[in-house]
Amino acid sequence: MIARVFITPKKGVLDPQGRAISSSLHSLGFGEVADVRMGKYLEIRLDPAQGDGEPEGRVRAMCERLLANGVIEDFRFEIDREANGRSEHDA
Amino acid sequence: MRWGVVSFPGSNDDLGTLHVLRDVLGHEAVPLWHKSSDLAHVDCVVLPGGFSYGDYLRCGAIARFSAVMSAVSEFAAHGGLVLGICNGFQVLCEAGLLPGALVRNRSLSFVCREATLRVESVANPFVNMALVGDVWRIPVKHGEGCYVVDEATLDQMERDGQVLLRYCRPDGSRAREGEDASDYNLNGSMRDVAGVMNATRNVFGMMPHPEHGADASLRDVSWPDAGVPDGLRVFQSIAGWVADMGQRAAVDSMR
């Protein structure tokens, strides 16, 4: 089981990296780029035999307690129950 | 006056801070190890600058879960004085001991230079050897020093005198609304905020490094050579406050 967590800067919070990437894309001719927000992506492999409670609640708690800072960041996640073993990057 | 200076893995201004406290101020100062929850009966805990835990995930995000931080939170909850410098400020925000967060500098560049700071509030333990409107010169060196917090909280903090230092021009002036402030606001912080205190007035965080502007023998040649280095005033403010509290307690106990 794998949890995929996406963390993005909150709306309204200055994202200078996103802005720099956006202007870089413009200078490469990608004029359709209206806005870029840069965040983080985490893949968390979960052992179904461990953990107290539903993975949704557990992953939400991970995000709230550590992975995202609620002052500046939003998070969302998806849980892939079919995925097992190694992450995509190891393949 | 007894100080404690925390060392996290990746702290690098802990020794410089101990030097200023011991060798410049002549105070007792003890190192506090991140794995220990024993604060050694200090009067003030300093969280120093550096890159705790390599700044992984977010600056300060991992350090806040260390053993020493549980003790620091408890200490702060009982009114103990806590000073966070640079990475220490980031740790305090992550720990929820100060409002807001510090994000990547607006310029995306690491800044390493002297900042000019306007003293905004002096009725507090951390910045009191000054008058409101004084301009201090204290070095900064950081990549993630842009202070952000929601507008309503910042309004409240300003009303309650919790913003102690702001970036300003050398003459003390600041940009008007809509004007470019990037000549003096080095990181893009909201409303030029450089240092903030919590609502209970015993926890303070600042991005500039007072310990780097405290030892007169290390003073930049361009500095005026008279007077107390401005960084030292932060430590002297705290020490003066603690001494006053001690005297008051002594008088109370005689009554």
Which residue, chain included where needed, has tokens 């900042």? B115
* Active-site annotation holds for B86: yes
Residue (of B54, B42, B195) closest to B126 by Cα position: B195
* Active-site annotation holds for B146: no
pLDDT greater than 60 at residue B244: yes
Give tens-digit pLDDT for B16-44.
999 999 999 999 999 999 999 999 999 99
pLDDT greater than 90 at residue A83: no
Sheet with strand B2-7: strands edge to edge: B28-33, B2-7, B44-47, B81-85, B203-206, B193-197, B163-167, B111-119, B135-142
* Residues of A with Cβ-Cβ distance to B94 under 8 angstroms: 69
Nearest-angstrom CA–CA distance, A58 and A63: 9
Single pTM value for the model: 0.92
pLDDT greater than 70 at residue B99: yes
Nearest residue, CB atoms, B106 vs list A14, A66, A67: A14
Give tens-digit pLDDT for B115-137.
999 999 999 999 999 999 999 99
What are the DSSP calls for A2-32, one per residue?
A: EEEEEEEEPTTS--HHHHHHHHHHHHTT-TT
Question: What pLDDT shows up at residue B253?
Answer: 81
Q: CB distance A16–B105 less than 8 Å?
A: yes
| CA-based end-to-end distance of chain A | 16
pLDDT greater than 70 at residue A30: yes
Nearest-angstrom CA–CA distance, A22 and B44: 45
Question: What pLDDT shows up at residue A84?
Answer: 72
Question: What pLDDT shows up at residue B224?
Answer: 61
Question: What pLDDT shows up at residue A88?
Answer: 54
Question: What pLDDT shows up at residue A14?
Answer: 83
ipTM confidence: 0.82
pLDDT band, very low/low/confident/very high, at B75 (cuts 50, 70, 90): very high
pLDDT band, very low/low/confident/very high, at A91 (cuts 50, 70, 90): very low
Question: What pLDDT shows up at residue A49?
Answer: 87
Per the residue annotation, which of B59, B144, B211, B212 is the catalytic one?
B211
Q: CB distance A14–B188 less than 8 Å?
A: yes
Segment B176-184 mean pLDDT: 91
Which segment of A44-58, A77-91, B51-65, B122-136 scores lowest on mean pLDDT?
A77-91
Give tens-digit pLDDT for B197-218.
999 999 999 999 999 999 887 7
Share of chain B above pLDDT 70, in %: 97
Give tens-digit pLDDT for A40-73.
999 999 998 887 889 999 999 999 999 999 999 9
Instruction: Provide the chain B residues 42-61 that lie in CB contact (below 8 A) with chain A.
Output: 57-58, 61
pLDDT greater than 80 at residue B227: no
Nearest-angstrom CA–CA distance, A66 and B138: 32
Nearest-angstrom CA–CA distance, B46 and A40: 31
Per the residue annotation, which of B19, B34, B44, B86 is the catalytic one?
B86
The single-letter code of the amino acid at A16 is P
Residue (of B121, B41, B47) closest to B82 by Cα position: B47
Does any CB of chain A come closer than 8 Å to the CB of residue B188?
A: yes
- Average per-residue pLDDT for chain B: 94
Question: What pLDDT shows up at residue A86?
Answer: 59
For an interface test with A, which of B97, B98, B103 has the most A Cβ atoms less than 10 Å from its Cβ?
A: B103
Question: What pLDDT shows up at residue A52?
Answer: 83
Question: What pLDDT shows up at residue A90?
Answer: 53
Q: CB distance A72–B107 less than 8 Å?
A: no
Question: What pLDDT shows up at residue B34?
Answer: 96
pLDDT greater than 60 at residue B183: yes
Half-sphere exposure of B168 (CA within 13 A, CB side): 18
Nearest CA in chain B to A72: B101
- In Å, what is the CA distance from A43 to each residue of A2, A59, A69, A77? 7, 11, 18, 10
pLDDT greater than 70 at residue B181: yes
- Pairwise pLDDT comparison (B166 vs B219), residue with the higher score: B166
Residue B187's CB: how many other CB atoms inside 10 A? 28
